[in-house]
Amino acid sequence: MNAEFRIIGKPQRRLDAFDKVTGRMKYTSDYSLPGMLHLKALRSPYPHARIVSIDAQRARALPGVRLVLTQKDFASVTWIPPQPAMSDVARFVGDEIAIVAAKDEETAIEALALIEVKYQPLAFVIDPEEALKPNAPKIFPQGNLIGGKPVVLSRGSIEKGFAEADLVYEARYSTPYLQHATAETRVSVAHWDAGKLTLWESTQGPFELQRAIAKALKIPVSKVRVICEATGGGFGDKGSPGRQAIYASTVARLTGQPAKMELERDENYLAATHRFPVICNLKYGVKKDGTLTAIQAKVTADSGAYSIAGQAALSSLECMASVYRCANMRGEAITAITNNPPTGPMRCVGHPQGTFAQEVHMDVIAEKLGMDPVEFRRKNHVHLEDGDQFRKIPFTSNGLAECITRGSDALQWGQRWARKPQTSGPVKRGLGMALHGCRHGSMLPVMALSGLVKVNVDGTVNVYTGATELGSGQRTTMGIIAAEVLGVLMDDVYVTAADTDMTTDTGTTTGSRQTNTGGNGVRLAALDARNQLLDIAATELKADKKSISIRDGKVFVGSSEKGVPLEDIASKAPGGVIVGRGVMRPPSDVFSHAFAAHFAEVSVDTRTGTVRVERLVAVHDLGRTINLLGAENQIQGGAIQGTAFCLSERQRFDTPTGICVNPDHLNYKLPTIKDAAPVEPMMVESIDAVGPFGAKGVGEPPYSGASPAIANAIYNAIGIRFTELPITNREVLARLQAGQGQRGEKR
C-alpha cells in the first residue's frame, strides 16, 4: 500500500464478484443456442493402436444423429503442433477416434456405441525412463526423445565445482502425473453465421485460438470471433487451443447449426493436458562453510503422447538454475514421449517439480553441514547483481532476502526451529522452509501487448483488454490500472475482456504475465486517453497542461481544491470521442523474476500418518501489489494447490493396460475446503523496473514453494525424508510402521 496511489495496492473487490456469487456469471458451459448440436467423442480404449477401419453407418442412421466425423474429415486440417486434429493412430487411452454430432447428448452417446472400429493394438510404454530405452515401442517415427537428444545447460566447470566441494550429495526425486482439475472442463460452443464463426470457449488465449481456427479452416481472422466471458479455471490447460474447438467449429460450418462440445469429467482427466511428472537426479557440491560449488541435475520428464510444453524437462531445470548463486552447473533435460495422456503447462509449469527436488536436496545438505536451513539459503541465494547466471541478463528486481526475513520472522524461525524433535506425544510438530525463483511474469518480445481505453462523455471509462479473466482477477487488475492512471472511481469503470472482436491481443493469460502485458497495455492506453483529457482541460480551463491533475473523477488546476467534474472536460472532446490506445513491443532480454520463500509448520499424527499443515507463510516478491485482495487470493490459491501436490493429488495408471484408474476428483484426491492449508500470504514489493507500477507476476509461483517447505517440515517433525510426491498419510504411516524416523522419541 502506498500513499502515492489512490487505488493501486488497496483491497479491491472483484468487478465480477456479484456475478460470481449469485451464479449469474455466464461460463461457456452455460451457453445453449437454439438448434444446437451436441458433440461426443469416441475415444481409444488402447494406449497405442492403429485404426484399421471405422464403420459409422449404424451410428449415422440413428435418428437424431446429424454427423459422424473421423480422421479423414480432418486430414487437411492444420492444428496445433504436435497434436493433429485427429489421428489414425491412437497414442493414449482417450485419444479421439471419431466425433458424433447429435440433437442431444444422450443420442450422441448412444451413437458412439454403434460405431464399429477395428483396432490393431500396438506395443506401448507409460514409463518415461522405459520409453527412452533402445527397444521401447516407437510412438512417433522420430523416436520417443523430444528433440532427439538431451538439452544441456552448462556454466563454469562442473568438474571443478565438485573438486572444490567438501561435501557432495546425490539423490533422486520424483513427482506424479497431475490433472489441472478445473471446475469447468474443456468446452466450446461454435456458431457459424453468414461466413462468420463465433466461438465461445473456455480459454486462456482467445487470440491464439482465433488464429488457430482461422488457419485450420482457411478463413480470414476477421471472420472468427472468440469470446471468453469467464473461465471456470485454466491453470494452464486452457492456454492452448483444445481439439474440441476444431471439432465444434467444423460441425457448425458443415451443418450451419450451433455446435457444443463439453468434456465429461472423466474425459477431461483423459484427454485434457496434465502436469508432466519429473524425475530429478541431483548431485550438489558444497564447501564446509555452506558455499555451493556445483549443481548437477539430470531431469527426465514424461511428456505423455503429446505435449504443449515442448522441452518440458527444461522448465524444471531452469528454475533450479536461477535461485542459487553457483559458478558451476550442469543440467541435462530429457523429455520422453510415452503413451500417457497429453501434458502441458500447469501452474508454474515444471517449477514445482524442480523446486521440490532442489529444496529438499538443499535441506538435506544443510543438515549434513549442520547448518540452519535458513542460514544455508541466505548464504547461497541469488542477489540483484547476480542476474540470470546462464543468460547474463540482470534481474529487474530481487526481493528474495526480504522474503526470507519476513517469512522466518513470521514463524519465529530463529526461536522455534531446531534440528531435534521438540514435541512429545503421538502428534509431532515440525518446521520447514523453501525458496523459489522463476521467470514467471516475464514478457517475451514476440508477444502481443496492448490495451484500449474509452473515456465516455460523462467521464466514465470503458477498458478493453484481450486478457482472459481466468478467475484470478485480471478484469479487476485492468480496471484498477486504468482508474489509477485516469483518476476516476472504480465504480465508473467497466472492463471488457477476452473477446477477439471487442478487444486487442495482449498475449495469452499464461506465464503469470497478464499484469505485465495486459496491464502495461491498459496503462499505456490510459495514459494516452489521459493526455487527450489534459489537452481538452487545458483549453477549457485556460490552464497550463502541466498544472492539471485528475483524481476521483474531478479535474484540478494547480493546488486548487475545487475540482471540475471530469464530465465537463470529457464531453468537450473534439470529434466527441476519446479512445486511448496502448501498444508496445515488450522489451527484449529482460526477465522479471518472481521470488518467494515459503515457511511451513506441520503436525504429523504418528498413529494415522495424517499430515496437517498448521501454518503456511508464503512470502512473495511480486514487485508491486496492484490489488491487495487479488494478490492475497493468488498466493492462497496457489499455495493450497501446492499443498495438494505435496500431500494428495496423483493420477494413476494401470501398468498392464495403460488405463487411468482414478479419472475423478474423489479418487484423484483433489483437496476439499477442509484440506486447504491455512496460508498466510505476505507481499514483498521490490518495485520492478519493467512491470506496470513496478509489478511482477504472482499467479503461478505460489504453487512451487509449498511442497518442499511441507516435506522439510515433515522431516523436521518425524525424521523421515520423502523424495517422491505425493506424501499421502498411507505413505507416511507405511514409513513409520517400517521403523523409519524417530517416531515417539523426543528428537
* By CB under 8 A, residue 416 contacts its own copies: no
* By CB under 8 A, residue 507 contacts its own copies: yes
* By CB under 8 A, residue 656 contacts its own copies: no
Taking CB under 8 A as the criterion, which residues in 523-582 touch its own copies?
573-579, 581
Choose, by CB under 8 A, the member of 55, 104, 159, 193 that binds its own copies.
Answer: 193
For the bound state, the minimum distance from the C-beta of residue 260 to its own copies, rounded and expressed in Å, comes to: 17
Choose, by CB under 8 A, the member of 148, 220, 656, 739 that binds its own copies.
Answer: 220
Q: Which stretch binds its own copies (CB under 8 A): 143-151, 214-222, 429-437, 669-677?
A: 214-222
For the bound state, the minimum distance from the C-beta of residue 499 to its own copies, rounded and expressed in Å, comes to: 8
Nearest in space to 723 (alpha carbons), one of 743, 739, 737, 708: 708
582 and 452 in contact (C-beta within 8 Å)? Answer: yes
Alpha carbons 595 and 697: distance in angstroms, whole number? 10
Helix (H) or strand (E) holding 206: helix 206-217
Choose, by CB under 8 A, the member of 162, 494, 669, 678 that binds its own copies.
Answer: 494
For the bound state, the minimum distance from the C-beta of residue 446 to its own copies, rounded and expressed in Å, comes to: 8
For the bound state, the minimum distance from the C-beta of residue 593 to its own copies, rounded and expressed in Å, comes to: 23
Nearest in space to 381 (alpha carbons), one of 711, 621, 615: 621
Alpha carbons 651 and 276: distance in angstroms, whole number? 11
Considering beta carbons, is residue 281 or 462 the nearer one to its own copies? 462
For the bound state, the minimum distance from the C-beta of residue 579 to its own copies, rounded and expressed in Å, comes to: 6
For the bound state, the minimum distance from the C-beta of residue 583 to its own copies, rounded and expressed in Å, comes to: 4
Considering beta carbons, is residue 81 or 576 the nearer one to its own copies? 576
Choose, by CB under 8 A, the member of 13, 24, 288, 545 that binds its own copies.
Answer: 24
For the bound state, the minimum distance from the C-beta of residue 586 to its own copies, rounded and expressed in Å, comes to: 8
DSSP string covering 127-183:
-HHHHTSTTSPPSSTT-SBTTSS-EEEEES-HHHHHHH-SEEEEEEEE---EE---S
Considering beta carbons, is residue 433 or 453 the nearer one to its own copies? 453
Nearest in space to 323 (alpha carbons), one of 240, 268, 403: 403
Strand-pair partners of 599: 433, 617
Considering beta carbons, is residue 138 or 211 the nearer one to its own copies? 211
For the bound state, the minimum distance from the C-beta of residue 19 to its own copies, rounded and expressed in Å, comes to: 5
For the bound state, the minimum distance from the C-beta of residue 486 to its own copies, rounded and expressed in Å, comes to: 12
Which grid cell is 445? 518480445
Which grid cell is 49? 493402436
For the bound state, the minimum distance from the C-beta of residue 309 to its own copies, rounded and expressed in Å, comes to: 22
Choose, by CB under 8 A, the member of 110, 184, 267, 492 that binds its own copies.
Answer: 492
Alpha carbons 718 and 359: distance in angstroms, whole number? 18
* By CB under 8 A, residue 484 contacts its own copies: no
* By CB under 8 A, residue 303 contacts its own copies: no
Q: How many CB atoms lie within 10 A of CB 571?
A: 16
Helix (H) or strand (E) holding 118: strand 116-121
Alpha carbons 92 and 126: distance in angstroms, whole number? 9
Query: Rounded to 5 degrees, what angle do the CA atoms 697, 699, 700 make?
Result: 100
101 and 65 in contact (C-beta within 8 Å)? Answer: yes
Q: How distant, in Å, are the alpha carbons of 153, 376, 416, 681 from that of 409?
A: 36, 16, 10, 14
Q: How distant, in Å, are the alpha carbons of 135, 350, 675, 702 from that of 355?
A: 32, 9, 22, 12
Taking CB under 8 A as the criterion, which residues in 91-150 touch its own copies?
none
Q: Which stretch binds its own copies (CB under 8 A): 133-141, 298-306, 502-510, 654-662?
A: 502-510
Choose, by CB under 8 A, the member of 244, 353, 396, 504 that binds its own copies.
Answer: 504
Which grid cell is 543? 490552464
Choose, by CB under 8 A, the member of 19, 105, 402, 605 that binds its own copies.
Answer: 19
39 and 584 in contact (C-beta within 8 Å)? Answer: no
String marking each residue 575-614 x if it binds its own copies according to CB under 8 A? xxxxx-x-xxxx----------------------------
Considering beta carbons, is residue 95 or 499 the nearer one to its own copies? 499
Which grid cell is 715? 522431516
Nearest in space to 409 (alpha carbons), one of 698, 639, 684: 684
Q: Which stretch binds its own copies (CB under 8 A): 113-121, 165-173, 448-456, 538-546?
A: 448-456
Choose, by CB under 8 A, the member of 6, 50, 60, 211 that binds its own copies.
Answer: 211
Residues that bind its own copies (CB under 8 A): 16, 18-19, 22, 24, 193-196, 211, 214, 220-223, 446-450, 452, 454, 456-458, 460-462, 491-494, 496, 501-502, 504-507, 521, 573-579, 581, 583-586
